[in-house]
Structure 1
Amino acid sequence: MSTDGYSVGATTTEWHDALVKHKIIAKPEREVTQDETDIKFMWETREKEEANKYKDKTLEELGEMEDDGEERGKGKEQKKKKKGTIEELRRKRLQELKDKETAERFGRIQAISKADYTKEVTEASKQSTVVCCLFAFSQPESKKMLQCLEILAERFKECKFVKIKGQECIEDYPEDFCPTLIIYKSENPIGHIKGLQCFGGIEVISPDIVEWELAQIGVWKTQMETNPRTFQMHTKNKTRSRYQSKSANGERSEIDAEQQDEGAERASDASDLDLD
């Protein structure tokens, strides 16, 4: 009986060793002892505890701790390891700040001119999605849309929002088509929405509804699980039903007509959303 020179927890025969030597069979793996497992767990726990000490530190605090380690820890392995941990955390924190700054570099609607369109919309869409609003001055629908977009620009700072007067962007562009949203991604238009019908009209539209509808065509991802417009319409219809039960016949007919118009509005939504 002989062994292969490794502690495998069991004795092997010469025949077995010969098979291993000529690579006919694999060499048995060394069994890990309980002591080794416990020691490994202990060091991993210590390293996690050490790293957690610096997790919530600011960049300035990490810098001070790094300087302190250089002054007191020369020639000490433990201090050297601590310094390496702090340096790594500082690099990670700086990268996180840089990434956040890059992702959130917008946050408002930028007014552009026709000369800026290619640069600020088409070319800019290489880096981020661009939502361009063609609007008409003093038009209530345009004002309502721009109010919604101002709020969404704050919510989705990684997305670029721009606005331009419709007739300046496109000569003789009908004001009835305003507001018009043109959405670009990777230099390609992915959405073209005229008016507010797609969002329920001027009385229904809200930032949440615009967020939901644009999420459906891939402008961004929304945290909302249900269509906020459906909820609004459901609540509105319930209110009307209670009113109908207390109204005279003439009033009821007028409300029924409003509900029919609302249904027609919903049915026309698909035609208002043209994907180029």
Structure 2
Amino acid sequence: MNPDEDTEWNDILRKHGILPQQIKITQNDIYDSAVERAREEESKRLEGLDLDELDELEDEEDDQILEQYRKQRMAEMQAQLDKEKYGELMQISEPDYKREVTEASKDTWIVVHLFRDSIPECKLMNRHLSELARQYRATKFVKIISVECIHNYPDANLPTLLVYGDSDMRSQLVRLDKFGGMRTKKKDIEEYLKGVGAVDPSLKRSLPGEEDAGSESDDNDRNGAMYFDLGKNL
């Protein structure tokens, strides 16, 4: 009879104290044993090395750490570059809308400006969006003539912003009344897009010559924005 075997008879003998209780090996025991083995192997590897050899080994391990860190940073930078692939306000036409907006918004945030060149507020919005597109290159900014996007769309509702994400419209902004019309600042549009989630502040780039804006002001008390149900028309 083998007292170490896990049999029903041995269990009965252990229960009555005839055989000692079987020691259960846990995952922690296995892990601790592996760590101890690794330490012993490392100790053996270092035995007999002189100071110069130890210094050389330390330099090699430092180089390995630096190389690992360098590869990690390069991977992070490449991942960021893969996200930041836009950088300009692009004009599209009606046939492009489904591909450039609805379908493309599955993978990224898209800001659409419905505009007319003859409307001063639209020109102002285009100027602000052009700069924001350069600063937030992970977000796609496009513009389209209003009546190409929605036939007979009233000029009185311009400029209009449509914000898409996950293949659906997430927000809309009609007119600039909320921000004071022609007094609207780029910061106003930026804060609106931040609130929607369409731009990521951690990926913001500075424009040449642009000073730090400092503390952000909260203009939530300003009212007057007009909203128009566009979902059925797109």
* Structure 1 and Structure 2 fold alike (TM over 0.5): yes
Quote the Cα distance in structure 2 between the aligned partners of 1:109 and 1:132. Answer: 9
CA contact (8 A) 1:114 1:169 kept: yes
Shift in Å, 1:267: 4.0
For these two proteins, the number of residue pairs brought into alignment is 177
- Per the normalisation by structure 1, the TM-score is 0.54
1:268 to 224, 227, 230: 224
Task: Give the equivalent residue in structure 2 for 1:120.
Answer: 100
User: How far does residue 169 in structure 1 lie from its aligned partner after superposition?
Assistant: 1.7
Which residue number in structure 1 is paired with residue 42 of structure 2?
Answer: none
Instruction: Please give the residue correspondences for 1:201-212 in structure 2 after superposition, counting only pairs within 5 Å.
Output: 201-202=181-182, 204-212=183-191
Q: In percent, how many aligned pairs have the same letter?
A: 31
Q: 1:177 and 1:86 mapped to 2: Cα distance?
A: 57
Instruction: Work out which of the residue numbers 134, 147, 159 in structure 1 matches 2:114.
Output: 134
Q: Match of 1:205, as an amino acid?
A: T
Shift in Å, 1:217: 2.6
Structure ranking higher on relative contact order (CA contacts 8 Å, 6+ apart):
2
1:98 maps to 78
CA pair 90-214 structure 1, distance change in 2 beyond 3 A: closer
CA-CA distance at 1:148 after TM superposition: 0.9
Mapped contact 1:167–1:173 kept (Cα < 8 A): yes
| Distance change (3 Å), C-alpha of 1:155 and 1:273 | farther
What amino acid sits opposite 2:78 in the alignment?
Answer: K
**Which residue matches 2:17?**
none
Higher helix share: 1
- Map 1:113-262; keep pairs closer than 5 Å: 113-202=93-182, 204-220=183-199, 225-227=216-218
Counterpart for residue 67 of structure 2: 87
**1:195-216 C-alpha deviation (Å, 9 max, x unpaired):** 11122211x2011011112222
After superposition, the C-alpha distances for 1:194-251 in whole angstroms (9 at most, x for unaligned) are 111122211x201101111222233235596432586xxxxxxxxxxxxxxxxxxxxx
The alignment partner of 2:181 has SS state of: coil
- Mapped to 1, the partners of 2:21 and 2:57 lie a distance apart of 40
CA contact (8 A) 1:198 1:273 kept: no
Secondary structure (helix, strand or coil) at the match of 2:164 reads strand
3-state secondary structure, aligned to 1:131:
strand
Q: Verify the 8 A CA contact 2:85 2:137 in the aligned structure 1.
A: yes
Supply the distance in 2 between the matched residues of 1:114 and 1:217 (Cα, whole angstroms).
25
Cα distance change, pair 216–97 in 1 and its aligned pair in 2 (3 A): closer
TM-superposed deviation, 1:145 = 0.6
Rounded Cα–Cα distance in structure 2 between residues aligned with 1:275 and 1:113: 18
Range moving further from structure 2, 150-159 or 220-229? 220-229
- Structure 1 contact 109–162 (Cα < 8 Å) conserved: yes
Residue 130 of structure 1, CA deviation: 0.1
Distance 2:171 2:101 in 1: 13
**Conserved in 1, the CA contact under 8 Å of 2:88 and 2:130?**
yes
Q: TM-score, normalised by structure 2?
A: 0.63
Equivalent position SS for 2:173: strand
1:52-109 CA-partner distances (Å, limit 9, x unpaired) = xxxxxxxxxxxxxxxxxxxxx9xx7556534533431332132122112112211110
Residues 1:109 and 1:129: Cα distance change in structure 2 (over 3 Å):
same
Q: Distance in 2 between matches of 1:213 and 1:183?
A: 11
Measure the CA separation in 1 of the matches of 2:224 and 2:118: 26
Answer whether contact 2:136 2:200 (CA < 8 A) is retained: no
Distance 1:149 1:229 in 2: 21
